[in-house]
Structure 1
Amino acid sequence: MAYLFSYGTLQKKEVQLETFGRLLVGEKDILTGYKLKMVEITDPEVLRKSNQKYHPILNFSGDSEDEIEGLLFEVTEEEILQADEYEVDDYKRVETVFKSGKKGFMWVDKINLS
């Protein structure tokens, strides 16, 4: 089992059902050292699934005062790959440790990596 951190549209039930074929189970967690900004999505499939033109995206700040709340979902390795397909060109998957001490994957702005 792996962990996937969601701070945006992967928390939506409809997106989970479309992307993974099931509702994900998770708990609240916090990511430090990042800030959120918005990115315009142009991929038609992602727009259809999320019904949202602008999605949040993480930018590394390095400041321990910056915290992002989200949900840490338990997923399979296959579901991580399915999430990769959903998180389009602007995003890059990275692994990190969250405030809970758990290690998991998240998607960040590929231009502003830590």
Structure 2
Amino acid sequence: MGEGWEVRETARGRPAEGSGDGGRHLVFSYGTLRLPRVQLALFGRAVPTRPATLSGFRVEQLTIADPEVVATSGTSSHPILRPSPDPVDHVEGSVLHLSTQQLAAADAYEVEDYRRVRARTTAGEAVWVYVADGNS
């Protein structure tokens, strides 16, 4: 299991208490949530982002079957994170600043193969991240 993260699952679209500051939520994205077309479709605009790194995970590819998600992202091949026992493994991505409504939209967009958990970036910042569900 990756260092610096914990499973803190939530119901889809319902952030856990203490997950944001004043309705703001930090989400580490390593895939399609960073795409302008996806942000426009889900959030109605581009959202503030900044580069970040997450350790203790590796990226694999997942084939998405949901036609709405494929239409929104423009591809059926999406990255998915899995915990890695190798401390050298890390993932480059971005931290997105989302409102509670935007977080709910992101939850609805992510298919059942993903679950949202708490993690810490290499800079020590607490973020939400979508990782592989144990069944996928």
Q: Same fold (TM over 0.5)?
A: yes
CA RMSD of aligned residues (A): 1.4
**1:38-79: CA deviations, max 9, x gaps?**
000000110100010110000001322101000001111221
Question: Which residues of structure 1 form unaligned runs of 5+?
Answer: none
Question: Which residues of structure 2 form unaligned runs of 5+?
Answer: 1-23
Give the structure-1-normalised TM-score.
0.94
Give the structure-2-normalised TM-score.
0.79
Q: Following the alignment from structure 1 to structure 2, what is the Cα–Cα distance between the partners of residues 52 and 14?
A: 12
Q: Following the alignment from structure 2 to structure 1, what is the Cα–Cα distance between the partners of residues 27 and 85?
A: 21
% identical equivalent positions: 37
Q: Secondary structure at the match of 1:85?
A: helix
Query: 1:109 aligned to 2:132?
Result: yes
Where in structure 1 do 4 or more consecutive aligned residues deviate above 3 Å? none
Query: 1:49 aligned to 2:72?
Result: yes
1:82 counterpart residue number: 105
1:34 counterpart residue number: 57
The AA in structure 1 aligned to 2:51 is: K
2:116 counterpart residue number: 93
Q: Which has the larger radius of gyration?
A: 2
